[in-house]
Chains A and B, each alone.
Chain A
Amino acid sequence: MPKDSFDSDVIVIGAGPGGYVAAIRAAQLGATVTVVEKEYLGGTCLNWGCIPSKALIASTEAYQNVLHADKMGVKIDGKVSIDFDAIVKRKEKVVTTLRGGVGMLFKKNKINHVEGFAKFVDKNTISVEKDGKKTKLRAKNFILAMGSSVIYLPVPGLEGGQKEGVWTSDDAVNPPFVPKKMLILGGGAVGVEFSYVFNGLGADVTLVEMMPTVIPMMDEDLGKELGKQLKKQGVGVKVGASLDKCEKTKNGWKCHVTTGGKTEVIEVDVVLLGVGRKANTDGMALDKIGVKLHRRGVEIVDDSLKTHVGNIYAIGDVTGRIQLAHVASAEGVRVATNIVKGEAKQMDYKAVPNCVYTVPEVASVGLSESEAKSQGYEVVTGRFDFRGLGKAMATGHIDGFVKVVCEKKYGEVLGLHMVGAHVTDMIPEGVAAINLEATIESMIDMIHAHPTMAEAILEAFEDAHGMAIHK
């Protein structure tokens, strides 16, 4: 093969929400694109993450709504129960349908889908191995989008896998059963979502988080409120706590949990590790061709997402930076555009929304109050509780609140933080506000539909301005 002949303009390695989106955009812009995927189209998000967990959460919520239907004046005679197999089957159908959708999009955009594991030969060549057979592929540019995988966080005494009652999030989205008693380690998005699901489906759940609140990556007020709501639902929320060691029992584990200096032993069937992921970079010979790796993944040169090798880019979890599907997709679009159009535009991470799909939901974008203060902003905040809204009362979704964080001098919107029903669907307002450089005054000039939960956003901005109407 002559040295300057290429099979594709762009080869994308990994077909998750970063890779498949990058591939489609590059193809739309006229590039010839090949995607190499070692497993399923859709990656973690679609197969083991966002989507299957949302399907399980939806079933759980449906069950809970029926259980509490009397509150809304609906009387149910007879037994209400769950069909766990049906729940898992439904989830599986959702996943396979969406996975097929990605395949259709590839066909439509004439993207060449190659199954197998990619290993670099030189900076323009990979060798793809599938069932012992190797194929060489050459491209002008590469997008590394291999994503990340769960890792087993080392806990003294805790060994084994699903069969031994040690689950990761991969196991939790394909649960063989609902454990009777369960300990979930880590109160991040994964930990709290599965706490809601398994508690809601009848398990006795203890949630152990090291930091002083659950979801510690978000504004402190959100974590406090969510912790309170989960406790109300029956989850044993332990914050500022650590899982010191585990002892194997006949049917599960004895877990030694220390909270504020006091240690207690909690017996469970299953320990779910809700923390820890690792970039998928092993065995690809990346370092041999000059792509530098750091502790958490592929090192990029700047926010144009180039690696140390000029024709190779990295997006999504594999960079070890922000591990969110929508960030990977946005990075994929940016990189695909940069490659095809010969640009070097940088990503802007000022307004990255972050959502947690518990009941109540949590959503956040921009700076938390403490982040804003530590960055030197003079901060003004506003807050409005959903219980003050007509829509919240009418629908029975009175829990939670909206908090806005703004800069004082100009009124610049710095952050929007919400906990409550439907808040993940309301967060785009905050994204738009921050991206478009809105100020408090411009936000309160916007008419918000009535009755909606989003009125709380208007009221919170009014509050930051010193005059919420319904507070």
Chain B
Amino acid sequence: MTEVIMPKMGDGMEEGTLLEWLKNEGDSVKSGEVIGNIQTDKAVMELEAPGKGKLAGILVPVGETVPVGVPIAALLKDGESLPDGWGSGAPAAPAAEPEPAVVAAPVAAAPVAAKSTGRVKASPLAKKVAEKAGIEIAAVAGTGPGGRIVERDVRAAIEQQSTRIPAAPPVAAAAEDIKVPLNHLRGIIAQRTLESKQQVPHFYVTVEVDLERIETLRQAFKEEESGKVSVNDFVVKACAKALVDMPEANATYGGDHVLQFGSVNIGVAAAVDDGLLVPVVKGCENLTIRQISQSVRDLVGKARDGRLLPDEMQGSTFSISNMGMLNVDNFTAIINAPNAAIVAISTAKRVPVVVSDDEIEIRTVMNITGSFDHRVLDGASGAKFINIIRDYLESPTHLLS
């Protein structure tokens, strides 16, 4: 018998929802044949048969979410039958890391967030409820005897996550409150941003960038056959170069060490219909601005069409959040853990600027704000890093190499 388990289709995947069985019990399937569809955190993936045989003993009905590694069905060879008690047992020990179905990112495999390895004082029920709700039990505050985490604490944490959606502004008393259930992506965003804000000590540094030269260059690009390059592309390239110059910002906190990545993989936050996705441009240190521009356009397009592969959203070493098109003066971004930094890009605007010779000129400027993990970088390093980016953006010819 071959067990069909919920496969791990990427590093960040912890559970999957069975969307559809494409084969019925009793159907013969070949190894690698697609037998169902699975919704992961971010995308719909095909479930491939891990061997050949007859599909049997389906344990997970359509719509159910189970952790990675849990048996969901079996494949039987001729003459085999399901073992007694099939499906009644405990899920396979989650410690047994199943082989990732997708090849992990190169060099800079996404580092796992430093998990507390010590004993967590929690009731068995609290652990179970947290596990099923996808909550990191160690992050829950315990109210039981001696700070023990009990069921109500986990329930409260789940509640807190779900109420973190900005509520509709209070309006006329006649309007009724509407409870909008979380979609899957919303839930993931809620969990990730909460974890980052709670676990990563953020600090922020803002600078104003003069875009005059970039605007001139963009005009030049526009006139070329190969087409437009956006401010965002310049920013990605500037960040890539800054990260090469300052590898301490291209890093992650590892509990007892800081891991500096060999490769620069930049996550570019993209708004999609029901939330936010962060596709990753990999190997930015080796890409020209044109290549970056192409890559970002492809990935963001895929994200908006829901076609991103899990691997295209993993392995970032640094992230950028751009609200340039949203007419904002300045904002700060939440670090995309386990990255050590993120840069927030605001809208470019025409303002009077004091230039050399104490004269005032109208120029195009924009604010950029870096958010840094204080466990990895101190204020001076953050300031240095954000100024390197500014220097590149104000001297954009360096970005054309």
Contacts and interface: CB of A to CB of B under 8 A. Distances in A.
Contacts of A438: 123-125
18 contacts: A410-B128, A410-B129, A410-B132, A412-B128, A412-B151, A436-B123, A437-B123, A437-B125, A438-B124, A438-B125, A441-B90, A442-B124, A465-B88, A465-B90, A466-B88, A466-B89, A467-B85, A467-B88
B150 interface: yes
B70 interface: no
B119 to A, nearest CB: 14
Contacts of B132: 409-410
A411 interface: yes
Contacts of B85: 466-467
B128 to A, nearest CB: 4
A439 B128 contact: yes
Contacts of B151: 412, 437
Given A409-B132, A410-B129, A441 B88 contact: no
A436 B150 CA distance: 8
Contacts of B88: 465-467
A436 B144 CA distance: 9
A465 B129 CA distance: 18
Interface in B122-159: 123-126, 128-129, 132, 150-151
Contacts of A412: 125, 128, 151
A432 to B, nearest CB: 11
Nearest to A411: B128
Interface in B95-142: 123-126, 128-129, 132
Nearest to A444: B90
A407 to B, nearest CB: 9
Interface in A415-458: 436-439, 441-442
A290 B372 CA distance: 62
A439 B125 CA distance: 6
A412 B132 CA distance: 13
Interface of B: 85, 88-90, 123-126, 128-129, 132, 150-151
A410 B88 CA distance: 13
Nearest to B90: A441
Contacts, number: 33
Consensus secondary structure, chain A interface = loop
Contacts of B150: 437
A442 B128 CA distance: 11
Contacts of A409: 132
Given A437-B124, A441-B124, 13 more contacts: A410-B128, A412-B151, A436-B123, A437-B125, A437-B126, A437-B150, A438-B123, A439-B124, A439-B128, A441-B90, A466-B85, A467-B85, A467-B88
A289 B164 CA distance: 48
Contacts of B123: 436-438
B288 to A, nearest CB: 53
A243 to B, nearest CB: 45
A403 to B, nearest CB: 19
Interface residues of A, number: 13
A442 B122 CA distance: 12
B90 A410 contact: no
Contacts of B124: 436-439, 441-442
Contacts of B125: 410, 412, 437-439
A411 to B, nearest CB: 7
A436 B126 CA distance: 10
A465 B89 CA distance: 7
B271 to A, nearest CB: 35
For B89, B124, B129, the residue with the greatest tally of chain A CB atoms inside 10 Å of its CB is: B124
A441 B127 CA distance: 12
Nearest to A442: B124
A439 B123 CA distance: 9
A76 B90 CA distance: 54
A386 B123 CA distance: 29
Contacts of B90: 441, 465
Interface string A383-410: 0000000000000000000000000011
Contacts of B129: 410
Nearest to A443: B124
A466 B85 CA distance: 7
Contacts of A411: 128
Interface string A27-57: 0000000000000000000000000000000
A437 B89 CA distance: 21
Contacts of B126: 437
A410 B123 CA distance: 12
A441 B88 CA distance: 12
B33 to A, nearest CB: 31
A458 B169 CA distance: 54
Nearest to B123: A437
Contacts of A441: 90, 124
Nearest to A433: B124
Contacts of B128: 410-412, 439
A441 B123 CA distance: 12
Interface string A17-32: 0000000000000000
Contacts of A437: 123-126, 150-151
A439 B90 CA distance: 12
A469 to B, nearest CB: 13
Q: When A and B form their complex, which 4 residue pairs have the shortest distance between CB atoms, in order from nearest?
A: A437-B123, A437-B125, A442-B124, A466-B88
A465 B126 CA distance: 19
A411 B132 CA distance: 12
Contacts of B89: 466
Contacts of A410: 125, 128-129, 132
Nearest to A436: B123
A390 B129 CA distance: 37
A467 B84 CA distance: 10
B248 to A, nearest CB: 44
B158 to A, nearest CB: 13
**Best-surrounded residue of B90, B128, B132 (most CB of chain A within 10 A):** B128
A439 B88 CA distance: 15
A372 B129 CA distance: 18
A156 B334 CA distance: 78
A310 B349 CA distance: 65
B40 to A, nearest CB: 22
Interface string A201-244: 00000000000000000000000000000000000000000000
Most chain B CB within 10 A, of A437, A439, A467, is at A437
A160 to B, nearest CB: 53
A177 to B, nearest CB: 52
B57 to A, nearest CB: 15
A409 B133 CA distance: 12
Nearest to B89: A466
Contacts of A467: 85, 88
A467 B87 CA distance: 12
A437 B128 CA distance: 10
B154 to A, nearest CB: 10
Interface string A354-397: 00000000000000000000000000000000000000000000
B125 to A, nearest CB: 4
A439 B132 CA distance: 14
Interface in A274-326: none
A377 to B, nearest CB: 13
A465 B90 CA distance: 9
B93 to A, nearest CB: 12
Best-buried of A409, A410, A412, A441 by chain B (most CB within 10 Å): A410
A9 B132 CA distance: 49
A238 B115 CA distance: 62
